[in-house]
Structure 1
């Protein structure tokens, strides 16, 4: 059972339903989580909500997320853009690499669940999940485990993964062998703090052993197309033709055989769907959701 906490601003939002985003909060595992709730004109929770999850070490006010919320509102769709806590109470903005890392990739799955429950407690119907990059993978992971809780999902340039690719990327970024580091970390207590450790995008960081293993131990579920083979809900995957971050996504998706999964490519867009490409994203999303009616 999740304890719900609404701040004063959120209470005003529930009654007046303004057209701009306002912050709401909820409690989860002794942490305060925050998110931006935005209603379309004349809409309420009962009209449905799109729950948006950002990418790696990012936040809900990055350009892409804010743009998506505005465009969704213009299209008559409510949205809730969440900030993953990454182990920090009431976190805002990009994660500071100087802060010790105790968060896990899988923490996000539970936090998406907390916000899903929050929305349902507000009377939200027809929940749709949306996730970008790593957040797309975490969204698909949640949907795989909880297919009855949501109506559909939209994945924007979701993360891909292979064991070989992960090791090569780590070697190229840090000139270190991930295999050797994992063999050492696996012998440590999961609560041990690792010092001067290269972790995700943060060089020479302080990281808990359990967190390092959660992000780097081989697990096919890190690969979003792997999850989509068995997904039970309507899923729209949007990739970008100029995406250098998950450039193998279209090839991997071509190997997914599931009638629930639809793949669309936006020509010219990069990983962040900048400028007018975000409009194309919303056009595809609106069309997709109309087909679910």
Structure 2
């Protein structure tokens, strides 16, 4: 798509959303582990769930109808693809919107995998006959873990948009930069509490994007321990599902993805593409390029 056509198409799409002309995704619910999970299903014109669904997972403390996810659903629908964009519960019942930083954090990074399993089972029960999965940012790492640990045989393809990377010592440096506070004493306390079987004990601290909040010790350990599986290219070495990694060329959040993928691109089941000049959220219509790459790769149409 040329730049001019991309700009025109993007303006028309944004105008349609603003004016309510675009078909809104249908809100759906699923009961799981004493929580109500929420998702938004968008069905392509002339399509049914039996034709297949792309299950979509958002990034850190976000939700399935944030701009990048909602816009991607619209572009997938235009290309003839059904999609279900889920809200990870993050330990909250019927959660919608961005995570409320005033709430106590009791969620763990790995919780997403079980919720993806539940949603895949739901989609199969609803009649889906083929599935793909798509994750953005931290959601990309969580999708990769799902592929490595509990993937359903019906899942054919995976697309990871600017997925999370990790390196030893990163969490400590990032925490110090964000909060001018050392992470190590907090993590040591949390690890000790978990070791004592007191992982549900609450700590007052800055946590992820939330300053001056509260988090369970087991949550602190989950998000901040030294864990090579927080590095998506590393996890992809454990998978076998055909996967496309979409790198944002001007990403200032995940800055080393293309470099780290050098160890993976020779794997038979892994492909990588770069969207030049795109930021981490694929703003300014670069999401068109990501959507084109995703639909070409999934290849159902």
TM-score by structure 2 length?
Answer: 0.88
Give yes or no for contact 2:161–2:247 (8 Å, CA) kept in 1.
Answer: yes
Structure 2 distance, partners of 1:205, 1:121, is 39
How far is the alpha carbon of 1:230 from its aligned partner?
2.5
**Secondary structure, in 3 states, of the residue corresponding to 1:232?**
coil
Match of 1:46 in 2: 50
Unaligned runs of at least 5 residues, structure 1: 1-17
Give yes or no for contact 2:159–2:244 (8 Å, CA) kept in 1.
Answer: yes
Structure 2 distance, partners of 1:153, 1:146, is 14
Match of 2:281 in 1: 272
Give yes or no for contact 2:165–2:257 (8 Å, CA) kept in 1.
Answer: yes
How far is the alpha carbon of 1:25 from its aligned partner?
0.4
Match of 1:87 in 2: 91
Structure 1 distance, partners of 2:38, 2:211, is 27
How far is the alpha carbon of 1:258 from its aligned partner?
1.1
Match of 2:239 in 1: 231
Structure 2 distance, partners of 1:146, 1:107, is 12
How far is the alpha carbon of 1:214 from its aligned partner?
1.0
Give yes or no for contact 1:19–1:73 (8 Å, CA) kept in 2.
Answer: no
Unaligned runs of at least 5 residues, structure 2: 1-21
Q: 1:191 aligns with which of 184, 193, 200?
A: 200
The within-5 A match list for 1:71-220 is: 71-147=75-151, 148-188=153-193, 189-195=198-204, 197-220=205-228
The alignment of Structure 1 onto Structure 2 pairs a total of residues equal to 274
How far is the alpha carbon of 1:171 from its aligned partner?
1.3
Structure 1 distance, partners of 2:295, 2:93, is 34
Structure 2 distance, partners of 1:273, 1:187, is 40
Structure 1 distance, partners of 2:203, 2:297, is 45
Structure 1 distance, partners of 2:256, 2:263, is 12
How far is the alpha carbon of 1:41 from its aligned partner?
1.0
**Secondary structure, in 3 states, of the residue corresponding to 1:151?**
strand
Give yes or no for contact 2:76–2:83 (8 Å, CA) kept in 1.
Answer: yes
Q: 1:284 aligns with which of 277, 293, 300?
A: 293
**Secondary structure, in 3 states, of the residue corresponding to 2:169?**
helix
How far is the alpha carbon of 1:46 from its aligned partner?
1.2
Match of 2:62 in 1: 58
Moved over 2 A (4+): 146-149
The within-5 A match list for 1:9-20 is: 19-20=23-24
Structure 2 distance, partners of 1:164, 1:92, is 33
Structure 2 distance, partners of 1:286, 1:230, is 24
